Amino acid sequence: MKRLLLWALLGTWAFTAGAQINDWKIATQYHKQTAKEQLIKRLTRYATFDTQAAADSDKTPSTPGQLKLSKELVKELKKYGAQNVKLNPFGIVTGEIPATSGKPAPVLALLAHVDTPAEISGSNVKPQVHKNYQGTDLMINQTRNLFINPQNSLQLAKAYGHDIMTASGGTVLGADDKSGVAVIMTLVQYLYDHPDLKHGVVKIAFIPDGQTGQGAEHLDVKDLGADYAYTLRGGEPGELTTEAFSAKSFKAIFTGNRSIPSGMAMNSAFADNILMGSDFHTLLPRQSRPDTTSGRRGYIYLDNFVTQGDTTTVSGTLYAFSDDELATLTGQLNQAFRTVKAMHNKGKAELEITNRYQNFHKTIPASMITLVKQAMQQEEITPLMQAARSNTDGSILTFKGLPTVDVFAGQFNTHSEREYADLDVMEASLRTVLRLVELWGMQGK
């Protein structure tokens, strides 16, 4: 009798635990296909806004199309019950979803950026949805024979049966990061439509110029008022980016004297600033260039070489995950610069090195990682810890006082006309973040 009673109690506990794990889905009667249809509708609409960033602009937002989309997002946030919705002078949209849990909890922020890359057109984007992908060539543009398949887009091998969205050739789709925008806004609507899903305060921020790294600089984290933040950005299910490169920018300025006629250059004060800049670039170690490194190896990247009269300016960035490697790259840069100065003693040379941002992984609270992993696992998604070989908004915001990591959003082949969004992965991202919002609401303040 006692054994039967024990098993009955254990069975009741198991049922209760299972219900607790899945309570938001049960309470709200979550329907996957309905959620996916909302994601498709939103991403299709957002993609038509030309929000291509301008890398050479000193304004934020750098292009008017970003502000146009931001204004639309303001309207949509208000439509679905967000409070304190603001559009600041830099085009950053913020809003607040009120708590429903009735108890103090940490304030969570969800972020995404609205711009698309500067290097490829975002104008006149024509999204198309390819239903039920079957593993063969997926045609983007028949006339140009532009397609994706598991050979040129490796993640498609995992997308059998999924719905895929692409552009129609000649442009990006804009999934980076409009898939993140679509996931967040669909979450906002879901919380509005289902007030029985218990959660704490959720802050929302849509940021311009994420591609250039300028937008997050203008986010007032104190005014936002969040304790922790997750950026919806990235590809396959489970991607969790908890660290990124540290970076230093550099500028080498070479001054020559090219006023002397070239035919009389020998044994004169002639100094060739163009050659100085070229030698500097050549002397940077080939094993420390981006095309020769991968994984956790850093590199030196030259991004500009400009000559105006007697002045040549060479600028770029040092990237590394560790302080030791960043110091090594800095030493290589200095060595190349000193060699050029010695080779061209008739010219003048200056080198400026500036700290830009640091790898933020050591400053991320363990609870942020634990809860997002738990959210993924409860949705039967395996967490994939990653280090970004680039900068992220977390690189900036974490050191401004808002710990920020990236969570997957179903975007692939970014910065390319072969870019695509996996709509089933976006739906998995939505479920993950809904679960995460609920889990944070259970934490004590």
Specify the pLDDT at position 261.
86
pLDDT at 324 over 70: yes
Reply yes or no: is the peptide bond before residue 422 cis, omega within 30 of 0. Answer: no
pLDDT tens profile 80-129: 999 999 999 999 999 999 999 888 999 999 999 999 999 999 999 999 99
CB 344 within 8 A of CB 353: no
- Based on its alpha-carbon atoms, the radius of gyration of the chain, rounded to whole angstroms, reads 25
pLDDT at 13 over 80: no
Specify the pLDDT at position 356.
85
Distance CA 265, CA 259 (A): 10
Distance CA 104, CA 106 (A): 7
pLDDT tens profile 218-267: 999 999 999 999 999 999 999 999 998 999 999 999 999 988 888 888 98
pLDDT at 1 over 90: no
Report, as an integer, the average pLDDT of 334-363.
93
Specify the pLDDT at position 79.
98
Q: Is 351 helix (H, G, I), strand (E, B) or coil?
A: strand
Specify the pLDDT at position 304.
92
Report, as an integer, the average pLDDT of 21-31.
76
Specify the pLDDT at position 51.
96
* Residue 28: band (very low, low, confident or very high) from pLDDT cuts 50, 70, 90: confident
- DSSP letter string over 216-274? GGG--HHHHT-SEEEEE--SSTTEEEEEE-EEEEEEEEEE-B--S-GGG-TTSS-B-HH
Please give the domain boundaries of the chain with CATH numbers for all domains.
Answer: 23-244+360-441 (3.40.630.10), 246-357 (3.30.70.360)
Specify the pLDDT at position 357.
82
Distance CA 167, CA 117 (A): 15
CB 408 within 8 A of CB 429: yes
CA angle 60, 303, 213 (to 5 degrees): 30
Distance CA 356, CA 315 (A): 14
pLDDT at 8 over 60: no
Report, as an integer, the average pLDDT of 166-177.
96
Q: Can you state the angle between helices 423-441 and 366-378, rounded to 10 degrees?
A: 120
Taking residue 296's Cβ as centre, other Cβ atoms within 10 Å add up to 13
Specify the pLDDT at position 4.
37
Q: How much is the mean pLDDT over the chain? A: 91
Return the DSSP state at 386. E
pTM listed for this prediction:
0.85
CB 315 within 8 A of CB 300: no
For the chain, how far is it from start to end, CA to CA, in angstroms?
A: 44
Sheet arrangement for strand 311-320: 299-308, 311-320, 246-255, 348-357
pLDDT tens profile 356-402: 888 988 889 999 999 999 999 999 999 999 988 877 888 889 989 99
Report, as an integer, the average pLDDT of 3-23.
39
Q: Which amino acid is at 292?
A: T
386 strand-pairing partners:
241
Phi, psi for residue 340 in degrees, rounded to 5: -65, -40
Report, as an integer, the average pLDDT of 66-92.
97
Taking residue 265's Cβ as centre, other Cβ atoms within 10 Å add up to 14
pLDDT at 16 over 70: no
